[in-house]
Amino acid sequence: MKVRLKIWRQENAKAKGAFVTYDFEEVSTEMSFLEMLDALNQKLIKKGDSPIAFDSDCREGICGSCGLYINGRPNGPEKGISTCQLSMRAFKDGDTIYVEPWRAKPFPVIKDLIVDRSAFDKILHACGFISVNTGSAPDGNSILVPKEYSDLAFDSSVCIGCGACVAACKNASAMLFVSAKVSHLALLPQGRPEARERVKNMVMEMDRLGFGNCTNTGACEAECPKEINLTNIARLNREYFTAKIL
């Protein structure tokens, strides 16, 4: 099938970017979105043009590095997937597809569709460690955890740090990401000793980096490829207020 691609091209964070139009007629519905970009880049290289820079690694929906803003939505029109899992079957012959990088001040453009998401790494560094004895693995039942809490902790831990929540939020808030990281430790006994300092440090670092405030529109949950629940933000607020008071 044939598609018209309007792709954001930008040399670096300080350069002025713009959409560039590419008509691509050799698109198979069996391609993933990233495979389609690979094929387009091969075509551009053969013509002597500069290939489109975009990020990817695992291409299995695990690492989160491939995030793109596609037709006004993080990761495109399908729900609960990352960009690398998006199939060209989601589009029709003759469609015009707009492709942009994440738009957020803490995610400056490196080149074209690649943004610097090291701000998330800095928030995780502020998280610190948990106090557990090292050595041989403990018995699986030595620390009892209610199933409800273990399930909630696991659901939070699947966050891949892709940044779709930030891209979807009108305020560029990182609250869903931070709340997922806070929740999966706060819900488990191993994470309780440092819980108060952890949440204060992570929120402080998030604010320092320039992420916006949460206004509970729910766009982050709607666009999260791992469907992290919005209730994590409520848990983050409870943990933070408790840490500030006590």
Q: pLDDT by residue (tens digit) across 72-89?
A: 999 999 999 999 999 999
Question: What is residue 166's predicted lDDT score, i.e. its pLDDT?
Answer: 98
Question: What is residue 201's predicted lDDT score, i.e. its pLDDT?
Answer: 97
3-state secondary structure of 204: helix
Question: What is residue 173's predicted lDDT score, i.e. its pLDDT?
Answer: 97
Rounded Cα gap, residues 100 and 82, in angstroms: 15
Q: For the chain, what is the mean pLDDT?
A: 94
Residue 20 pairs in a beta bridge with: 7
Cα angle, residue 73 at apex, residues 70 and 78 outer, rounded to 5°: 85
CATH fold of the domain at 3-111: Ubiquitin-like (UB roll) (3.10.20)
Question: What is residue 139's predicted lDDT score, i.e. its pLDDT?
Answer: 74
Judging by beta carbons within 10 Å of its beta carbon (0-12, 13-18, 19+), is residue 142 exposed, middle or buried?
exposed
Question: Which residues of the chain register pLDDT less than 70?
Answer: 140
CA-closest candidate to residue 236, choices 188, 197, 180: 180
Query: What is the CATH number assigned to the segment(s) 118-245?
Result: 1.10.1060.10
Query: SS3 for 22-81, per residue?
Result: EEECCCCCCCEHHHHHHHHHHHHHHCCCCCCCCCCCCCCCCCCCCCCEECCEECCCCCCC
Question: What is residue 137's predicted lDDT score, i.e. its pLDDT?
Answer: 73
Question: What is residue 184's predicted lDDT score, i.e. its pLDDT?
Answer: 92
| Cβ-contact 127, 198 below 8 angstroms | yes
Which position has the token pair 């003759």? 94
- The domain locations on the chain are 3-111, 118-245
Question: What is residue 51's predicted lDDT score, i.e. its pLDDT?
Answer: 97
Question: What is residue 235's predicted lDDT score, i.e. its pLDDT?
Answer: 96
H/E segment holding residue 8: strand 3-9
